[in-house]
Chain A
Amino acid sequence: MLPRRPTRPDLLRRLTAEADHAHQVGMASLPGELEVAHFGTDDALVASRRQFLTRAGTTAIVAGAVAVPLGVVAQSAWAQDATTTTSTTAAPGPDCDASPVTMTASDEQIVVFAESVERAAVAAYGLARANPALGPAARESARIFEGHHDQHGEALRCLVAGNPQDPNAALVAAFGPQLEGARTEVEIIELLRQLESAAAATYLAALGQLETPAVAGAASTIMPVEAQHEVVWSQYLGLPVTAYVPAFQSTDGAVAPA
């Protein structure tokens, strides 16, 4: 047990109580989507999320032999030549304000690549949602996560004030046909899980290369969300928690620029 320390009225707890009150007032005015669990409000679907409480620690339940397309996408290593420290400042791109973040040329290359990965993720989720095998609860989660990736892509685009990048062609070629051809919901979700796992690994690999703190900071706000996406899909598949909560995030499966 923790040693019993005398409690005392303090500013922090008062602020907590005030903030909680303000939060509850604020919550009443927010749209209901904040209140909707990712798997919807249907009792059966909510129950599927509760299943992790009973499945944690059990063996993985992964139906079928789903191909692993993303592992072959990783190409050359992150062999960035970071000798240059001259940055480029482009004109603002559409819908971005002026003055993008000043960064090294190598960082700009990484940011552009990361944007292409986010665009590919948006495309992937679009294909997943279009597949009739995806159930309504998972489709709603896919819609939300697609929106997240779209915001990631826009944020990265505005870092360099460029025009929108095309979806990463290698990723699209790797998962597109599989998502379109998937016959079961489990297959679709497994592909999405792999995509998110690769995305999280890719951002960690990028952080090992980025030189500009502000750019690294932006990447640091995106990376944990990809990890959380992976958790959601893993729980839906009923995977044991040890399968999707490692002690440390790794770069295994990271996607690299050509």
Chain B
Amino acid sequence: MTTPRDEIRRQLRAAAADQRVALPRFRRALRRATDPEGGVSSHETAALLGVPHSRRGFLRIGGLGVAASAILVSCGLDNPPEEGITYTGEMPGESTATVPAPQIGSALDSTLLLTASSLEALAIAAYDAALEGGWFDGNRTLIDVATLFRDQHAEHFEAVVAATEAAGVTPYTDPNPFLFDNVVGPAADSIAALVPEDQPSATLDLAYQLEDVAAQTYTSAGGLFSTSELRSAAMSIGAVEARHLSVILGAQEAPAAPFAFGRTVNAVDEAAFITTDGPVTPSEPAPATTSTTAGS
């Protein structure tokens, strides 16, 4: 029996096949990007290589790499692929071609929606922790901005939940367990242990990581959702996450628009997906507590 998770993995394999087709283009793009005469800026070279712009630690969670980068697109293909979602196999010069039906479907839509709501819930939890923990050391502006962003993530969460319900799928309303266990939880532990004057910087780093994952995931979803309605809905949110990123970068005194194209290398990995079967990677169980009893 094919489970929804099997369908998701089939579609991801199809997307991976699309990536394999894109690899020759990537190699050509890489040659062009690293050629001093290639006319590609260092910003774009860094983006193509997935090199982050900031000296601070960043989290590379892994990518659902869809070949949406314009550098890849601009390189095109030498030969039509044997399989893929948009290519007909006809050589250039043919006047017409029928666009094949995309392999993207409702199962992937569901996964993207469920994962998106988990990301929004995660962001809400992280900003709440920062605000309640006083991690901005009384900086009123950072507090106001964090409050605004938290509230906006709450609106995003509601919108994604509504879209999920409209698709006939039970929404996922908890913070993403994989990212909580591997990113936010450990970061929260670390920040809480810092002296107050060091907490704002570390909190901004965490906020950057979360917003970056969210923005890149929505950018990726913009090319993966099966309908134009879902794609535009995704980017109505994704563009705001990108704005959040710019504001945070400004607070970190870093370039606020460093790349010519949005990236997807840090979009959530399959391990962080939420499917209609639930999280691909469930939460870690809480450690068992040992108790002692008075000697008898």
User: Which residues on the B side are within 8 Å of A213 (C-beta)?
Assistant: 85-86, 102, 104, 223-226, 231
Determine whether B196 belongs to the interface, using a CB cutoff of 8 Å to chain A. Answer: no
Q: Which of B60-79 contact A (CB under 8 A)?
A: 60-61, 66-71, 73-79
Q: A216-B228, A222-B261, A231-B246 are in contact. Are A85 and B98 (CB under 8 A)?
A: yes
User: Which residues on the B side are within 8 Å of A229 (C-beta)?
Assistant: 257
Q: Is the CB of A235 within 8 A of B256?
A: yes
Q: Is the CB of B96 within 8 A of A87?
A: yes
Cα separation A214 to B165 with both chains bound (whole Å): 26
Determine whether A218 belongs to the interface, using a CB cutoff of 8 Å to chain B. Answer: yes
Q: Which residue of B lies closest to A26 (CB)?
A: B51
Distance in Å from the Cβ of A191 to the closest Cβ of chain B? 17
Cα separation A230 to B250 with both chains bound (whole Å): 13
User: Which residues on the B side are within 8 Å of A23 (C-beta)?
Assistant: 51-52, 55, 58
User: Which residues on the A side are within 8 Å of B219 (C-beta)?
Assistant: 220-221, 224
Q: Is the CB of A104 within 8 A of B92?
A: no
Cα separation A241 to B143 with both chains bound (whole Å): 13
Q: Is the CB of A220 within 8 A of B235?
A: yes
User: Which residues on the B side are within 8 Å of A57 (C-beta)?
Assistant: 140-141, 144
**Binary interface encoding of chain A residues 62-102 relative to chain B, with 1 for a CB under 8 A from any of its CBs, else 0:** 00000000000000000000000111111110001111111
Q: Is the CB of B28 within 8 A of A16?
A: no
Q: Is the CB of A56 within 8 A of B60?
A: no
Q: Which of A205-258 contact B (CB under 8 A)?
A: 207-214, 216-225, 227-232, 235, 241-242, 244-250
Determine whether A17 belongs to the interface, using a CB cutoff of 8 Å to chain B. Answer: yes
Distance in Å from the Cβ of A10 to the closest Cβ of chain B? 6
User: Which residues on the B side are within 8 Å of A100 (C-beta)?
Assistant: 76, 92
Q: Which of A151-193 contact B (CB under 8 A)?
A: 151-152, 154-156, 158-159, 161
Q: Which residue of B lies closest to A52 (CB)?
A: B250
Distance in Å from the Cβ of A63 to the closest Cβ of chain B? 21
Q: Which of B173-221 contact A (CB under 8 A)?
A: 180-186, 188-189, 192, 215, 218-221
Q: Is the CB of B145 within 8 A of A86?
A: no
Q: Is the CB of B240 within 8 A of A225?
A: no
Q: Which of A11-38 contact B (CB under 8 A)?
A: 12-13, 15-17, 19-20, 23-24, 26-27, 30-31, 33-34, 36-38
Q: Is the CB of B90 within 8 A of A221?
A: no
Q: A207-B228, A208-B232 are in contact. Are A152 and B159 (CB under 8 A)?
A: no
Cα separation A102 to B52 with both chains bound (whole Å): 32
Determine whether B242 belongs to the interface, using a CB cutoff of 8 Å to chain A. Answer: yes
Determine whether A46 belongs to the interface, using a CB cutoff of 8 Å to chain B. Answer: yes
User: Which residues on the B side are within 8 Å of A211 (C-beta)?
Assistant: 99, 228
Q: Is the CB of B242 within 8 A of A224?
A: yes
Q: Is the CB of A158 within 8 A of B76?
A: yes
User: Which residues on the B side are within 8 Å of A13 (C-beta)?
Assistant: 182, 186
User: Which residues on the B side are within 8 Å of A7 (C-beta)?
Assistant: 185-186, 189
* A221, A223, A227: residue with the most chain B Cβ atoms closer than 10 Å: A221
Cα separation A230 to B246 with both chains bound (whole Å): 10
Q: Is the CB of B159 within 8 A of A232?
A: no
B interface residue numbers (CB < 8 A to A): 25, 28, 41-46, 49, 51-53, 55-61, 66-71, 73-80, 85-88, 90-99, 102, 104, 125-126, 129, 132-133, 139-142, 144-145, 148-149, 151-152, 155-156, 159, 180-186, 188-189, 192, 215, 218-226, 228-229, 231-232, 234-247, 250-251, 253-264, 284, 286-287
A interface residue numbers (CB < 8 A to B): 1-2, 4-7, 10, 12-13, 15-17, 19-20, 23-24, 26-27, 30-31, 33-34, 36-38, 46, 49-50, 52-54, 56-57, 85-92, 96-104, 144-145, 147-148, 151-152, 154-156, 158-159, 161, 200, 203-204, 207-214, 216-225, 227-232, 235, 241-242, 244-250
15 A-B pairs with C-beta separation under 8 A = A4-B189, A20-B57, A30-B46, A37-B255, A38-B255, A54-B141, A92-B76, A99-B79, A152-B260, A207-B231, A213-B102, A213-B104, A220-B234, A221-B222, A228-B256
Please name 5 further chain A to chain B contacts, defined as beta carbons within 8 Å, in addition to the given A2-B129, A217-B222, A223-B238, sorted by A numbering: A12-B59, A23-B52, A34-B53, A102-B86, A242-B148
The 4 lowest CB-CB distance pairs between A and B, nearest first, are A217-B223, A220-B222, A155-B70, A217-B68
